[in-house]
């Protein structure tokens, strides 16, 4: 195994990483690589929890955590970095504290903001590898695009209900995420975990695989998942593997489209992220409308299980069923539409107006904003 140099590792680290030192594929040299590595994890939630915990335990020297969310009770079913006492706290700061308790010799950098086009390049260039623990398509494509342009490996994972998938992109001249999925799906077409649910252990399974892939990339050992998509259905407990090749029409790998010109970053291409003042109302305005008994219909487009957790008394028509049921609604009535955080409802405004509804607005921030600003007793999820 060789001699551990005291200038490379503290005595406590010699004990901490003893099982790594015993592995020929890791050893002293490999542990030094881990200690020198800089890894950014985008998202400190379901996937981020196992990713961060295993990277910290493995001794990855610098770990960046990017998230702008706070711990909620509904997180605890799968986000094992947090406990009930952490509810309401910022995730990145809480995660940083927990990781330093696990391994105090690390450099943990907390980035308490959302990744966007204005900060992505400057942030990612400071790291060797990016791990995708995001829970939305906009961030997922942004991670891929900035990694492609900066030539950084992108360790991808996603989960939904009882299924998960993972891969590694932008490695050894291999494909990128857009080779597999060229463009984001239309807004509202696919549910996210908050809408469709997820079995908590799926996050642990996929996140642990992602952490494994990061460690293998740092050590330059084993066969990485680049060029392969690994999927799992935990109900049948079957893993499947699919080959991923460069897409002949990929706007990045083949067409070499610039980072600045990528269309999906523009809010106009993502209607659920764009709206005008005429499209929306605040929770304070909705409360005032209710107090004054104004004539309007409150339309709740969440899923039935979300409605059962908490609701504002609106008429429930799940988004997936909305287009079929618009014919039974009076187009001349005044509508206020809401969902959990305002994404589905923004898209609904456009849809209903296209179908001839004259007065439709959506609730900014959704029922989550109502719980935060109007009624803190409303259960959060």
Q: Where are the alpha helices (DSSP H) in 17-64?
A: 18-21, 27-36, 48-58
End-to-end CA distance of the chain: 50
Query: Exactly one of 179, 193, 250, 270 is catalytic; which is it?
Result: 193
Q: Three-state DSSP class for 320?
A: helix
Is 11 exposed, middle or buried, given 0-12, 13-18 or 19+ CB atoms closer than 10 A?
exposed
Q: Three-state DSSP class for 288?
A: helix
Q: Is 339 a catalytic residue?
A: yes
How many alpha carbons lie under 13 Å from residue 280 in its C-beta half-sphere?
21
Residue with tokens 């923004």: 346
Decide if 379 contacts 354 (C-beta within 8 A).
Answer: no
Query: Exactly one of 147, 253, 270, 339 is catalytic; which is it?
Result: 339
Q: Which two tokens stand for residue 5?
A: 């140099």
Decide if 136 contacts 158 (C-beta within 8 A).
Answer: no
- Interatomic CA distance for residues 220 and 33, integer angstroms: 10
Q: Which two tokens stand for residue 253?
A: 């790998």
Decide if 63 contacts 107 (C-beta within 8 A).
Answer: yes
Q: Is 193 a catalytic residue?
A: yes
E-strand spans in the chain? 38-42, 62-66, 107-111, 129-132, 154-160, 163-169, 228-233, 238-243, 280-281, 297-300, 315-316, 334-338, 359-363
How many alpha carbons lie under 13 Å from residue 374 in its C-beta half-sphere?
20
The residues assigned a catalytic role are 193, 339
């Amino acid at each position: 195994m060789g001699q551990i140099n005291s200038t490379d590792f503290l005595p406590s680290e010699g004990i901490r990483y003893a099982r790594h030192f015993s592995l020929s594929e890791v050893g002293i040299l490999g542990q030094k690589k881990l200690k020198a590595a800089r890894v950014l994890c985008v998202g400190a939630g379901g996937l981020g929890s196992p990713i961060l915990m295993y990277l910290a335990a493995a001794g990855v020297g610098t770990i960046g955590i990017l998230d702008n969310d706070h711990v909620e009770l509904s997180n605890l079913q799968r986000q094992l970095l947090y406990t009930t006492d952490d509810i309401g706290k910022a995730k990145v700061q809480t995660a940083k504290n927990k990781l330093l308790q696990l391994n105090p010799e690390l450099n943990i950098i907390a980035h308490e903001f959302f990744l966007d086009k204005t900060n992505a390049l400057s942030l990612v260039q400071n790291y060797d590898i990016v791990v995708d623990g995001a829970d939305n398509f906009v961030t997922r494509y942004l991670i891929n695009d900035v990694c492609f342009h900066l030539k950084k490996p992108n360790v991808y994972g996603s989960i939904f209900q009882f299924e998960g998938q993972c891969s590694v992109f932008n490695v050894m001249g291999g494909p990128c995420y857009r080779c597999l999925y060229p463009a984001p799906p239309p807004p509202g077409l696919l549910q996210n975990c908050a809408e469709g649910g997820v079995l908590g252990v799926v996050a642990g399974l996929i996140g642990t695989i992602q952490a494994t892939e990061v460690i293998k990339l740092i050590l330059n050992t084993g066969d990485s998942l680049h060029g392969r998509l690994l999927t799992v259905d935990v109900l049948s407990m079957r893993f499947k593997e699919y080959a991923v090749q460069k897409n002949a029409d990929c706007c990045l790998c083949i067409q070499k489209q610039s980072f600045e010109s990528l269309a999906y970053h523009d809010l106009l291409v993502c209607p659920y992220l764009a709206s005008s003042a005429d499209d929306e109302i605040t929770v304070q305005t909705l409360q005032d409308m209710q107090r004054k008994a104004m004539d309007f219909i409150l339309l709740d487009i969440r899923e039935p299980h979300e409605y059962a957790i908490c609701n504002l008394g609106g008429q429930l028509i799940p988004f997936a069923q909305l287009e079929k049921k618009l014919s039974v609604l009076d187009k001349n009535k005044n509508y206020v539409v809401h969902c959990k955080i305002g994404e589905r409802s923004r898209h609904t405004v456009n849809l209903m107006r296209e179908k001839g509804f004259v007065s439709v607005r959506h609730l900014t921030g959704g029922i989550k904003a109502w719980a935060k600003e109007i009624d803190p007793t409303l259960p959060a999820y």
